[in-house]
Amino acid sequence: MTTSNQYSTTITVSPLPPGKVTTIPNSIATTKALSTSNTYSISPSTVTTAGSCAYGYLSGSNCVCKENFHGSKCDLISNEVRPGEGPVVVKVKVTIVVVNVKYSSELSDKKSSEYIDFEKRFKEEMCKLYSDVVVCIDIRIISVKQGSVVVEHEVLTNVSLTNGNEQYYKAVRDINNTLSRTNSTPGETGFLEFDVSRTQVQESKLDFAGLCSEVDFIPEDMRQYFYGVNESNRLLCVSNCSSFNPEFVNCNEGQCSISKTGPHCYCKTSGEFWYTGDRCENSVSKAGVIAGVTIGLAVLLLIFIVVVVKLIRRRGKTGKETLVDNEHHWYNAWEGENFEKGQNRNSASNSNNGSQSSNSGNREFRPALHKVNTDVKIRTGRAKVTH
């Protein structure tokens, strides 16, 4: 589906805890008309990508996504997924006590070789026993505890949604009857013996909400975000981004999508607003932002001009003061030089006259007599008397 809106990731909504069961009434399927356009992709979508494709394959520089997946890296799954017609996988929870196996702490460590060997043996032997009454798809061990060897596990079988509750109850009863009639698995070697008196089979209603946890094409790390709905005896898996889910994440002015980390709100951008917030609930006016930025820049420009003018005026004033100081210094130096020359002339004149009046000189005056040339002859013109 092509849309004109642009989306940008804003924040991740905290995912719901794994294993949470939400019961969704079957009436949802009859009271609401489900939209088929949002359920799955009819054909693979091609989008540009710069990296690897999570749930698709790379064709040139583009990602070709598998059915029910979309996004630039095919890492987003559709919010409503239909697994198709046919039986669905259900789980029956059982606890038995194995008495012919000695307990050790290694059996509680799922990475130890002892646990791996025991798990393989347990699945093979118990599936032989359960296959007589149900379709044994798999055995999934939940925990191994001390007390002989207490094994809590799930038996995976399948039922039809047409009469799913009846088939589920029948599977629970058949497994319970089988375990109550025998104390060991069939076979001459490798068989397991267990304490019949401590066997427990959990009886409960068929959990539609949990059926999507076993849908193969939903990635295992995304199954916790999907819940099952009975849509006219067909399974519909809806995520937290679907309005058919009671835990619906409302992204308001945005689009909700599911990835490995859970529901995300992708806020859209319109011609007039940007949308932000955990659920894209806040709107920011583009015109307001532009006006605010413009006013802010104008204020900054005005402040800059005022500062520049003040600096220029201060620099001009400082230049004038420097010029006056330089002129004053030059004048003082010139006066000092003239005064020194005058002293030298007076010194020479006084030397020629041979005497100096004690009242005519400056007290600070110091004649340099050692520089006077006593060999110089002075000629004096004859005095003329004018009547």
Q: By the 8 A CB rule, do 283 and 289 touch?
A: no
Low-confidence ranges of the chain (pLDDT < 50): 1-50, 354-362
pTM here? 0.56
The domains of the chain are located at: 41-77, 88-209, 287-337
- All residues at 6 or more sequence positions from 37 whose CB lies less than 8 Å from its CB, including other chains: 1
Q: Distances in Å between the alpha carbon of 237 and those of 19, 86, 277, 285? A: 15, 14, 28, 38
DSSP 8-class letter at 119? H
Q: Distances in Å between the alpha carbon of 208 and those of 14, 58, 159? A: 24, 36, 12
- pLDDT of 6 reads 40
197: closest CA among 337, 336, 96, 85?
A: 96
Q: What is the pLDDT of residues 129-174, one digit of tens each?
A: 999 999 999 999 999 999 899 999 999 999 888 888 899 999 999 9
| Dist. CA 174–CA 304, nearest whole Å | 87
162: closest CA among 248, 90, 230?
A: 230
For 339, what's the count of Cα atoms within 13 Å in the CB-facing half-sphere? 9
State the architecture of 88-209 in CATH terms: 2-Layer Sandwich (3.30)
| Dist. CA 103–CA 120, nearest whole Å | 16
- pLDDT of 365 reads 63
| Dist. CA 173–CA 339, nearest whole Å | 133
- All residues at 6 or more sequence positions from 176 whose CB lies less than 8 Å from its CB, including other chains: 201, 203
How would you classify the pairing of strands 254-259 and 235-239? unpaired
Q: What is the pLDDT of residues 282-309, one digit of tens each?
A: 888 776 777 888 888 889 988 999 998 8
Sheet holding 88-98, edge to edge: 138-146, 149-159, 88-98, 200-201
- pLDDT of 337 reads 59
